[in-house]
Structure 1
Amino acid sequence: MNPLYILMLSLHGLIRGHDLELGRDADTGGQTLYVVELARALGRHDDVERVDLLTRLIDDPQLSADYAQEEEILGPGARLVRLPFGPRRYLRKEVFWNHLDLLVDRIVHYLRQQARLPDVIHSHYADAGYVGTQLSQLLGIPLIHTGHSLGRCKRQRLLAHGRKPLALERQFNFARRIAAEETILANAQLIIASTPQETQEQYGLYENYQPGRALVIPPGTDTSRFAPPGKAPLAAEVPGMLDRFLTEPRKPLILAICRPEVRKNLLRLVEAYGNSDELRQRANLAIIAGQRDDLRDLDEDQAKVLTDLLLAVDRFDLWGKVALPKRHRPEDIPQFYRLAAQRHGVFANPALTEPFGLTLIEAAASGLPIVATADGGPRDIIANCNNGILIDPLDSNDIARGLLEVLGDARAWRRRAQHGLSGVSHHYTWDAHVAKYLKAVRRLARKERKQIRRELAAHLHPGPATSLPFVQRMLVSDIDNTLIGDRHSLTRLIEVLRTSGRQLGFAVATGRSLESTLSILRQWRVPRPDALITSVGSEIHYGRTMLPDNGWIRHIRHRWRRDALADLLTGIPGLILQQPENQREFKLSYLVDPASMPPLRALYKLLQGEGLHANLIYSHQAYLDVLPIRASKGQAVRYLAYKWGLPLRNFLVAGDSGNDAEMLVGDTLGVVVANHSPELQKFRGLEQIYFASNRHAAGILEGMAHYGFIVTEGART
């Protein structure tokens, strides 16, 4: 098998290859570190040629200029690629969903510039999964997905914690996120989870979850950064960062490191500590909860978590016993673990939900025993490493019990510390993770090759869902009376397309609905095109999966008021609404009596007077289609040119009637077949519209030869 090209998508938060700002906000946490280290580990492997970790380009004066760099090398074989989408400023993940369709187009542009397409796409979290699903269907590339956290689980826990449903929806956009997760699970060929509990109890909440597609691979950790006190030095300045808060700094240290989120359950940790006289006498508590200069500058949720912590410290009079530093450097994190281990302390993770718990692995690699929530990853980590205690995160007394159990027995403390070190070495290295990961990818690739062979045997269109990433020129043809009408010439055209290689793409543009289009193409034995422009240009679909172009849908929705238009046109002389099967979300279709229908200019004036906007397509002196102002066959062709990075002069468009007019004019190369309707006569003599002397597909072949798209004998016969 050839070395792999892996495209990873991780869109939110702040990602760079050095000095990760972990804990800066709710979006910059363990996932950020995971994807960077995974990309580096994959890039080092001999079976991987290249890893692109793609994220959002952020040009924000309040942030480092690092996040505005288009590319950054992560290590051998791995690089970070940043593409802009949405506003230039930094956005939290819940508010950039509306910009994700634009990112799909940007990635398509990016991939067209590469020497090869990725072998797999690996998306991280629901936002990237939404993008990855579209790319996978569009390009025919297998999708791997890692959820990191799941919307249904997070929503359930927050509701149990007393949050109101409407407030949660406003803040977290759960409806959209959960719908995206269902779509991802229906389409991803492989789901990578960190624990069996994640696959069974978390993904199991989703209707589209398929257990056979799930694979448990525990994340690795960079043991070169995390080591016990005896094997790595402790920076001189680190103890002072915590000790300045503490009256008796030499006591054992209870350490928590996480973002200031409600889900992390820090308030209950402080309450467990404050309510236990024995715990307060035995140990100090240090909470490393992100970065802050001024609480008032944080977002509302982070500010509330930290304010509640400070109020709890005051309520229990824990001054001199609790350290809550405002700032730290990324390189200080391993030092905090090492300091807590040196003082025979314990690492605490009482999160309400914990899909994995990377900090638990880091603590174990530092020789620090752990106390963690009995949810998700901690169950497996403690089972594998035998280095800590599971607690009920909703019971502050149980949290205190677990902490005291670890701190109260010096011999057991040393045993747990040693078990943690050996457990990490055996179960949680990146080399072990990558070996299992690549084995699954190879198996996935073999399955894809078998599918392609089956399609070839069945004479189906094989390979990617579309050849568009490779296309340099594109034939776009109307169907009725242009592409079809003469079987002999259509057979010759199909053979030309079949033998022209992937650089010549093929699309149809028709007034038919998608269902009708697929039916007529089957009847005439036309291979499924790379792209289908249907319903007079109001819909675009791709390849064998019939993926709708969501970017096009969003584009043409502008000023579209379908019901108001239908009401206004009811009763207009000469207009008779066609059957329901001819009506679409973005198309109203009428039969026309030319003798009584008002002129088009009068209809436009009528719309204008009512503040309505539409594109009126009149064809064959018999039909009127009412479309969004931005929709038509011509606009759709121009959108394809933009999306796939092709100059308009590389498009040859063929038609026979008035609803083809807009795609024939402009910078495209136009072909009008000999059996055209009278409304196209006005274009005769225009430089870039060729009127063929042959009918139907023979006229298309003649036009292709005229423009140099092909050189074929008999094209003019």
Structure 2
Amino acid sequence: MITASDSPLYVLMISLHGLIRGYDLELGRDADTGGQITYVVELSRTLAAHPEIGKVDLLTRAILDPAVSPEYAQPEEVLSAGARIIRLPFGPKRYLRKELMWPYLDELVDRCLHYLRQQGRLPDLIHTHYADAGYVGQQLSLLLGIPQVHTGHSLGRTKRERLLASGRKQHAIERQFNLERRIAVEEDILKHAAFVVTSTRQEIDSQYGIYHNVAQQRFVVIPPGTDTKRFSPPGRRKIQSDPQQQIDRFLSDPDKPIILAICRPDLRKNLKGLVNAYGQSQELQERANLVIVAGTREDIRAMEESQQQVMQNLLLDIDKYDLWGKVAIPKQISQDAIPELYRLAARRRGVFVNSALTEPFGLTLIEAAASGLPFVAPDDGGPRDIVRNCRNGLLANTLECEAIGQALTTALADRKQWRAWSANGLLGVKRHYSWDAHVAKYMKEIRQVLRRNRKGVRRHHALLLDSGKSQMPLVERTLISDIDNTLLGERASLQQLMQWLSRNKGKLAFGIATGRPVESAIAILKKWQVPQPEILITSVGSEIHYGAKLIPDTGWANHIRHMWRRDDLQQALTGIPGLTLQAPENQREFKLSYIVDPERMPTIKELYRLLGERKLRAQLIYSHQEFLDILPIRASKGHAIRYLAYKWGLPLENFLVAGDSGNDQEMLVGNTQAIVVGNYSPELQTLKGMHSVYFASRHFAAGILEGLSHYGLLGIPISTAPQIPDAEESEVPHV
């Protein structure tokens, strides 16, 4: 349990695709608005009611599209006390199917960081749903040091195998579903997540079992709950007339038992097999009516192509078997009316049927059980666990329509058995599938995760500036310094600067911006006993990492990849007089580095002209009259700092930057508060007199302290007398 000294937990739930709101869920509207939507909404509500939880934010996508309700554009919607839906815009304003959202997910990572800065508090846990949200949650988890829990709901490898088995070509599958990226993300999540929530053991063995990183991951089976206040047996209550009338108007003899199916119009749901089973059995037609609720529709011709195919085949098969008057297929059944349909079927001594070809879990089976309605379901996956726990129905080989028909006939034939199944289902749901039971097990697991996380923080607390959660979304200012000949050079002033940073931890973040590769930067900082910075901009701004674990900023890498043709650039510069490639350890994915002979090298303007003739775009950074770095056009120390300002929602004027040479110039100009240390290189002379560029008289870290005093941040006056660097370390080489 959380102790009295602990604050109630803040959980950030992320589910991005489909249409999410707190009431009248449009389930079945399309392939993206299904059971996952119900799960995340109900979990958020029930979790927020737990005494250890203070706040649950369910974060999803804001959609501004005349084709959907304007409610999906509302920035905030209250779900219950302590729970709300937060909608953040990213990508196009219009509604997108999930396969088209991937290019815009890095934008959402940045918007989430801005949102968390506004909250003034970081979440204790991030729970993500499906691969798209999993990617966003993993980036936030890595950047912020917050544990991630993940629920897959469905998996890319399983989907690809099924599509290939159906005869689809791999290139066509990839073009439509973008599965390569999805599967790669799922593999990464399996390596990173604190644990993965599954509904059944079969999901672990048969679905996650085909992933490479499954052995590294911890899985927890927590079956979804159902809202027993909504889904309950009919008892003596009167069935609402509206949903009953929507069904009965199709039927010649509406008082007969109902075979009820509720699912999306999806080929995998095997509605064709169900209609064939019913149409081929005269006994079933005499015993019961068939009611199929296949999502909502205005016009079949306006539905997605795959859904059109399912619905057209359904109507053709009904006509083939002449089932008019025996089958109901209503166009519009609201989510509020669904529980009434279960109760109507239970009152008429009917049966629920899930005829899917395969069923990982089967939430509708639990809803039926909670309504006192026995079921027939696939002998596969989740239904096996549900039947074992609830003992309220039959399993059938749904690949064969004869087996579906036989199971339905058996379920309807024995009234005594029907009553036993009905009673068993009610008891089984209460024991195994209530939301309270789900959240109780969920809380047990996240307590363990948070306990392990706190132990890890304590182990590193004495050593690291960025122990535990990242403070980046909460800091007021950030100090970014070059390393060589700026931060380093004299130990006494460096120690004084480190003490000031320690006193201001939580209010101010510390980072470095250097031409060195990250490995070299860490080594030199360790040599000078500088604690690991929270931000590391390395390789002349072409790489950004965070904290002790050196978490890479993948958003930055994706951003600077634009128009970058490294091999072509290297080939174009081969043989140019005065240019010699630096050692391999100084070459990076987004950086080409040369040692130059200024007497022989063409001018920078001439080099730009040469590259332009070959239609190559890059930035050329010339420093110390000795080094030339070739970077993507979007990469530099200055661009990196502006990117950080946007990403973390911190105004540029709240960035203090310190440097000494030409490759620092871009980050020293603009709206930052800049400090040029006294031992600066001649190429910075042109910055003198510029607004918010302070030229210190003192050298190295003492110059930084002098600049901090100039900007009113030290609170004590600093002597402006120049100082002598440490004799043994007075020359800190530039890399």
Scaled by the length of structure 1, the TM-score of the pair is 0.97
Contact 1:348 1:370 in 2 (8 A): yes
Q: Matches of residues 624-663 of structure 1 in structure 2 within 5 Å?
A: 624-663=628-667
Shift of 1:601: 1.5
- 2:64 maps to what in 1? 59
- What letter corresponds to residue 491 of structure 2 in structure 1? R
| 1:281 aligns to 2:286 (yes or no) | yes
Shift of 1:204: 2.2
| 1:609 aligns to 2:598 (yes or no) | no
Shift of 1:231: 4.7
Out of 679, 682, 685, the position equivalent to 1:681 is 685
Q: Matches of residues 468-487 of structure 1 in structure 2 within 5 Å?
A: 468-487=472-491
Q: Deviations over 1:527-559 (max 9, x none)?
A: 111111111111111112222222212222222
- 2:31 maps to what in 1? 26
Quote the Cα distance in structure 2 between the aligned partners of 1:429 and 1:554.
43
Quote the Cα distance in structure 2 between the aligned partners of 1:162 and 1:225.
41
Quote the Cα distance in structure 2 between the aligned partners of 1:526 and 1:306.
67
| 1:493 aligns to 2:501 (yes or no) | no
Q: What SS does the corresponding residue of 1:144 show, helix, strand or coil?
A: strand
Q: Deviations over 1:218-259 (max 9, x none)?
A: 211111111222254311122232233333333222111111
- 1:406 maps to what in 2? 411
Quote the Cα distance in structure 2 between the aligned partners of 1:268 and 1:538.
57
Q: What SS does the corresponding residue of 1:616 show, helix, strand or coil?
A: strand
Report runs of 4+ in structure 1 exceeding 4 Å deviation: 712-715
Q: Deviations over 1:89-122 (max 9, x none)?
A: 0001111011111100000000011131111111
Q: How many residues align?
A: 716
Farther-moved stretch of structure 1 (696-705 vs 277-286): 277-286
Contact 1:701 1:715 in 2 (8 A): no
- What letter corresponds to residue 578 of structure 1 in structure 2? Q
- What letter corresponds to residue 176 of structure 2 in structure 1? Q
Quote the Cα distance in structure 1 between the aligned partners of 2:411 and 2:424.
13
- 1:584 maps to what in 2? 588
Q: What SS does the corresponding residue of 2:461 show, helix, strand or coil?
A: helix
Farther-moved stretch of structure 1 (440-449 vs 48-57): 440-449
| 1:710 aligns to 2:714 (yes or no) | yes
Quote the Cα distance in structure 2 between the aligned partners of 1:136 and 1:212.
16
Out of 180, 203, 206, the position equivalent to 2:208 is 203
In the superposition, relative to structure 1, how do residues 353 and 150 fare at CA in structure 2: closer, same or farther (>3 Å)?
farther
Farther-moved stretch of structure 1 (136-145 vs 486-495): 486-495
Q: For structure 1, which runs of at least 5 residues remain unmatched after alignment?
A: none
| 1:88 aligns to 2:96 (yes or no) | no
- 1:132 maps to what in 2? 137
Quote the Cα distance in structure 2 between the aligned partners of 1:231 and 1:210.
52
- What letter corresponds to residue 338 of structure 1 in structure 2? R
Contact 2:487 2:700 in 1 (8 A): yes
The RMSD of aligned alpha carbons is: 1.7
Shift of 1:395: 2.2
Q: Deviations over 1:23-57 (max 9, x none)?
A: 11111111111111111111122211111111100
- 1:297 maps to what in 2? 302
- What letter corresponds to residue 193 of structure 2 in structure 1? A
- 2:704 maps to what in 1? 700
| 1:223 aligns to 2:265 (yes or no) | no
| 1:600 aligns to 2:597 (yes or no) | no
- What letter corresponds to residue 202 of structure 2 in structure 1? Q
Quote the Cα distance in structure 2 between the aligned partners of 1:382 and 1:148.
21
> Identity over aligned residues, as a percent?
61
- 2:41 maps to what in 1? 36
Q: Matches of residues 98-247 of structure 1 in structure 2 within 5 Å?
A: 98-210=103-215, 213-247=218-252
Shift of 1:466: 2.7
Farther-moved stretch of structure 1 (662-671 vs 401-410): 401-410
Quote the Cα distance in structure 2 between the aligned partners of 1:477 and 1:529.
10
Q: Deviations over 1:444-466 (max 9, x none)?
A: 22111111111135x24453353
Q: For structure 2, which runs of at least 5 residues remain unmatched after alignment?
A: 722-735
| 1:333 aligns to 2:326 (yes or no) | no
- What letter corresponds to residue 497 of structure 2 in structure 1? L
- 1:555 maps to what in 2? 559
| 1:514 aligns to 2:518 (yes or no) | yes
Quote the Cα distance in structure 2 between the aligned partners of 1:158 and 1:369.
32
Quote the Cα distance in structure 2 between the aligned partners of 1:351 and 1:456.
52
Quote the Cα distance in structure 2 between the aligned partners of 1:170 and 1:308.
26
Out of 428, 436, 439, the position equivalent to 2:441 is 436
- What letter corresponds to residue 473 of structure 2 in structure 1? P
Contact 1:347 1:370 in 2 (8 A): yes
Contact 1:465 1:530 in 2 (8 A): no
Shift of 1:211: 7.2
Quote the Cα distance in structure 1 between the aligned partners of 2:573 and 2:466.
45
- What letter corresponds to residue 414 of structure 2 in structure 1? D
- 2:52 maps to what in 1? 47
Quote the Cα distance in structure 2 between the aligned partners of 1:551 and 1:59.
25
Shift of 1:714: 4.8
Q: What SS does the corresponding residue of 2:511 show, helix, strand or coil?
A: strand
Quote the Cα distance in structure 2 between the aligned partners of 1:711 and 1:353.
68
Scaled by the length of structure 2, the TM-score of the pair is 0.94
- What letter corresponds to residue 239 of structure 1 in structure 2? Q
